Amino acid sequence: MAHLLASATSRLRADVIEANEFPALSQRYQVSAVPTTVFSKRDGSDPRKAVGALPPENFLGALLEVSGLALEVAGEDDALTASEAGEETR
Amino acid sequence: MLIQERDRDVIRQRFTEQLVNPVTIDLYIRPDSGLIIPGRQQSPNSSSTTQQLLEEVAELSAKITLNIINVAADEDAAKLAGITMVPAIVLRGPDDGRVRFFGLPSGYEFGSLIEGITIVSQPEPPIDDVAAKVLDMLPEDLTVQVFVTPT
């Protein structure tokens, strides 16, 4: 999922990291189970961590959350909109 | 050989059928010095195994080009590419390298490597409409890091 999306937009870079080979980085994000996915801004700030396999909608939602947006899927045609994420959605 | 003959045939066939654009694989490595310091734990470094694996993969399609960069000899190249850990694998299709692996892609992740090569080779990545809309909304550059272990 990560690599597929990264290939579709210049906004996203996707790294697959072998946790045992890079223990310092794994410890930084307190990786204790795999897969663990860390979403962040390109400079590494504002990281959000998810443990376990992520359904596509959760993966996409995490991207928007890091960007300060909220995912809203509603209506019969699954109209998709984004809005500023308020305190309640964080 | 790290890749069994039976698997080589399957991968070769898949590449023949699915690779569209040429793919460049940049492999950043730091070869082992061979120096063992008593009393000091050796840091794991799978550079040589990763190099062998990717050389075998690159042999399976004429559309794949493998570039090997020794970061000990060419630090500037690694800095320019933003590579701070090795071994690092950067897959490049028509666009710049946003699909990367760090560490030896073994076990399940070997399948992810083959999948990644196929993905970056496509003119139009096969994503659905919802994913495309979300990506269009992103206001700034993001990074996703997926931590895995060999299985």
More confident residue, A1 or A83: A1
More confident residue, A3 or A86: A3
Range B29-33, long-range pairs (CB < 8 A, 24+ positions)? B29/B68, B29/B69, B29/B70, B29/B71, B29/B86, B29/B87, B30/B70, B30/B71, B30/B72, B30/B86, B30/B87, B31/B70, B31/B72
pLDDT score at B125: 87
Q: How far is CA B8 from CA A45, B1, B13, B43, B61, in A?
A: 41, 10, 8, 31, 11
Instruction: Tell me if chain A has a CB within 8 Å of the CB of B41.
Output: no
Using one digit for the tens of pLDDT, what is the confidence trace for B129-141?
A: 999 999 999 999 9
CA of B55 vs chain A CAs: smallest distance (Å): 20
Q: How far apart are CA B2 and CA A71, in angstroms?
A: 44
The tokens for B34 are: 């061979």
The reply to whether residue B138 touches residue A56, judged by beta carbons under 8 angstroms, is no
Cis bond upstream, residue B150 (ω within 30): no
The reported pTM is 0.88
Using one digit for the tens of pLDDT, what is the confidence trace for B30-54?
A: 987 655 556 655 455 689 999 999 9
| Chain B environment of A57 (Cβ under 8 Å) | 130
Using one digit for the tens of pLDDT, what is the confidence trace for A7-60?
A: 999 999 999 999 999 999 999 999 999 999 999 999 999 999 999 999 999 999
Q: How far apart are CA A71 and CA B105, in angstroms?
A: 33
CA dihedral A10, A13, A14, A18 (to 10 degrees): 150
The yes-or-no verdict on residue B71 having pLDDT over 50 is yes
CA of A85 vs chain B CAs: smallest distance (Å): 13
